[in-house]
Amino acid sequence: MTFAPESFRDNVSQALKDQQLRQNIKGATDYFAANRQRTVAADEHFEQLREQGRLIKQRCLAKLPELLEQLEHKLTANGIKVHWAQTTEQANETIAQLLAQHGATRAVKGKSMVSEETELNDHLNARGVETLETDMGEYIVQLEHERPSHILAPAIHKNKVEVAQIFDKHIEGLGYTEDVDALILAARHVMRDKFKQADVGITGVNFAVAQTGTLCLVENEGNGRMCSTVPDLHIAITGIEKVVESLSDIPPLLSLLTRSATGQVLSTYFNMISHPRKSGEKDGPKAVHLVLLDNGRSDAFGDEAFRQTLQCIRCSACMNHCPVYRRVGGHAYGTVYPGPIGQILTPHMQGLDKTQDLPTASTLCGSCAEVCPVKIPIPQLLLRLRMFAQMPDKDEKPVVAGQGAGRKSAEAFIWWLWRYFHQSGRRYRLLTYMLTKMRWALPRVIKPWTDSRELPTVAKMTLHQRVKQRQRQQGAKR
């Protein structure tokens, strides 16, 4: 599959034919969804919690510029250096320079989707820096030179047997085993040595607290804590939308995140990073840096409706519940963020010209919005993107880059014609009358509908006609 949203259609047809892939993804997303359901059902206040989460994120976004300034100020005061990056290239360049300054050549990484967004590993490898992904799923996809297919479980597309084969191929001395504990232990042995040798740890950030200058990191495997405490240098990278106002905003968001993601009441690890090692302290990194990435986020921020996209706390519940994601998997989207959240986020990063198949690849069934912990109205935002995709680009500064790229004059004409016949009752009745008269002359094959379905047939009389006829008959009876 090609890593580009322009290849969505080709990727989809490839993915749909891969029965093993479909089975793996269905099994894993069913598992996540069932776990979430169990936890949510046991919590009678979960709906209030979602509402609280929405309000927190919307409040923080409403004062995003101020909070970002406050965050920089506080972090700097705490001894954490802040770097701003408008583009992915700037983010990569900043990190590469930091590594060069510290003479760092061996990096261990905690899972960070923002670093996937910047393709940081490729950039660093090209500069001679060795990078090791230490999240188990991310490690698996790195061994195979693949990309994550899910934002929480990067290797969700692989089953146990496939992982056993990969480890057998890549980890010396392990031998083939399907024993999950043995597989994890083997990977941990590999990683333990790398943690000791590494001179830089790179992680993401789940929440950045402006008032206190605290970076919060949520994880289950302990690798994030290793990355952020063992090497002398810790670099965190995240998107500008991750800032929250105060520490009291964290408990509701953390509860929502873990419950929605895996059904856990709390993650195994929750790290709060507030400063580098102080004199007299025995461990911790000697220097901590934060890279804050924009990459299209400020464009989404500029539109009141699209701003809601930035409420996302990256729990992945939307993809676990999406009937499209559940059938095609994450790689098909050709984007870093797959599934419903990726469909509304990526157009702001790459423009609607490259991503025009993403907003249409949804039945608007609403199961994503139903489970979203911060109540992002994903179907409405998909609709809004569809609207901008076909809008003639007349404005000097477009709301979404590449708007109007999906406009097809034939389609525009069909909807114009449709409106003409449906706006007036008389014209509509004429149209449907003609359809009933021509019912045998209508096409019997409409691709791709008839590839897997029969077409319905037009009735002999419309409901309008039947109602009229019925009224005449009843009038005659009386």
Q: State the minimum distance, in angstroms, from the CB of residue 47 to other proteins.
A: 4
What the block records as the tokens of 71 is 């965050």
161 touches other proteins (CB under 8 A): no
Positive or negative, the CA dihedral 84, 85, 91, 96 is negative
Contacting other proteins (CB under 8 A), which of 324, 341, 381, 405? 324
Cα separation of 60 and 83, whole Å? 20
Residues 223-282 that bind other proteins (CB under 8 A): none
Q: Order across the sheet with 269-273: list the strands.
A: 243-244, 207-209, 214-219, 269-273
Shortest spacing between CB 1 and other proteins, in angstroms: 14
Largest CA distance in the chain: 101
Q: Looking at 222, 390, 393, 398, which residue binds other proteins (CB under 8 A)?
A: 390
Total binding residues for other proteins by CB under 8 A?
Answer: 71
Name which of residues 36 to 65 contact other proteins (CB under 8 A). Answer: 46-48, 51
Q: How far is the CB of 428 from other proteins (least distance, A)?
A: 4
Q: How far is the CB of 360 from other proteins (least distance, A)?
A: 5
Residue from 90, 386, 393, 398 in contact with other proteins (CB under 8 A): 386
Can you tell me which of 7, 35, 211, 462 binds other proteins, judged by CB under 8 A? 462
Choice from 12, 216, 218, 372 touching other proteins (CB under 8 A): 12
By CB under 8 A, name the one of 256, 257, 389, 400 that touches other proteins.
389
Of 96-104, 140-148, 179-187, 418-426, the segment contacting other proteins by CB under 8 A is 418-426
Q: Could you identify the residue written with the tokens 């990435």?
A: 293
Instruction: Determine, following the binding rule CB under 8 A, whether residue 27 of this chain makes contact with other proteins.
Output: no
CA–CA distance, 440 with 438 (Å, rounded to integer): 6
Among 173, 392, 425, 443, binds other proteins (CB under 8 A): 425
Helices 250-261 and 19-41 pack at an angle, to 10 degrees, of: 140
Minimum Å gap between C-beta 265 and other proteins is 19
| Contact pick of 282, 426, 444, 477 for other proteins (by CB under 8 A) | 426
**Of 72-80, 160-168, 294-302, 407-415, which segment contacts other proteins by CB under 8 A?**
407-415
State in angstroms the smallest separation of the CB of 312 from other proteins: 20
Shortest approach of other proteins to residue 16 CB, angstroms?
A: 5
